[in-house]
Chain A
Amino acid sequence: GNSVTQMEGPVTLSEEAFLTINCTYTATGYPSLFWYVQYPGEGLQLLLKATKADDKGSNKGFEATYRKETTSFHLEKGSVQVSDSAVYFCALSDQGAGGTSYGKLTFGQGTILTVHP
C-alpha cells in the first residue's frame, strides 16, 4: 500500500534560516503529492502540490519538487519566519474511483517546526 515518511521532528530554527523537511513516499502508479500546514488548534491548509514527475509546487516562499527517481518531495524555504511555526504534513493521493479525481490522502507523521526570533 501507499505510505509517506517524513523526517523526524521537531525542527527548531532561527528566523531567516534555511528550512528543509524531507519527505519520501512509496506508492504504485503515479501519485500526486501535497504539503499541508497545520497551525495550532486549526485544520489543515494546502501549502503546495505537484501532480507529476519534475513538477515544482511553490507557495509563500515554500517549494517542493516531485522527484520520481528518488521518490521524494522535500519541502524547502530559503528564509523562515516566526509565523511559519506550525506542523507540516507531506501527503500523497492516487486517483480516485473512476479516474476523474484525487483519491484519499495518505499522510506522513507530520513535522513540528518552531522558528525563534
Chain B
Amino acid sequence: GAVVSQHPSRVICKSGTSVKIECRSLDFQATTMFWYRQFPKQSLMLMATSNEGSKATYEQGVEKDKFLINHASLTLSTLTVTSAHPEDSSFYICSATGRGYQPQHFGDGTRLSIL
C-alpha cells in the first residue's frame, strides 16, 4: 500500500531554534499533503493543506509565519517550526494523498520537544 515517511521521528531542541520536519511519499505522487498537530490524548488538528507547487492554505488560528510549509515536489513536503518555543512542543503528523479518490496516508509523526 501507499507509504508515507516522516522524518525525524523525534527531536529535542532549545528554545529559539528552528526545526524542519520532512514528509515524503515513497511510492506515489502526493498532489496534496496535510499537516496536523496532535496534543496528548486528543484528536488531530489540521494546521494546513498544501498542493504541490502552490502556497499552503492554513487553518484559522495557525500562524503561517511560524509554521512554514513547502511542497516543492510531488514526493516531498516540509514543515519548519521557526523560532520554536516550549508551547510548540507537540506531536506533528503529515499525511498525503494523490490524484483521484485516494484516502489520506499518514506518516508516523514527529515528537517535537522544545526545552
Contact = CB atoms under 8 A, between A and B. Distances in A.
A101 B102 contact: yes
Interface residues of B, number: 26
A24 interface: no
Contact of B6 (A43, A100, A109): A43
Contacts of B6: 43
Contact of B102 (A102, A105, A108, A112): A102
A102 B32 CA distance: 10
Interface string B67-105: 000000000000000000000000001010101111111
Interface of A is mostly: strand
Interface residues of A, number: 24
Interface stretch (A12-20, A45-53, A63-71, A74-82): A45-53
B32 A96 contact: yes
A44 B43 contact: no
A97 to B, nearest CB: 9
B16 to A, nearest CB: 27
B45 to A, nearest CB: 9
Contact of A102 (B46, B97, B108): B97
Interface of B: 4, 6, 31-32, 34, 41-44, 46, 49, 93, 95, 97, 99-109, 111
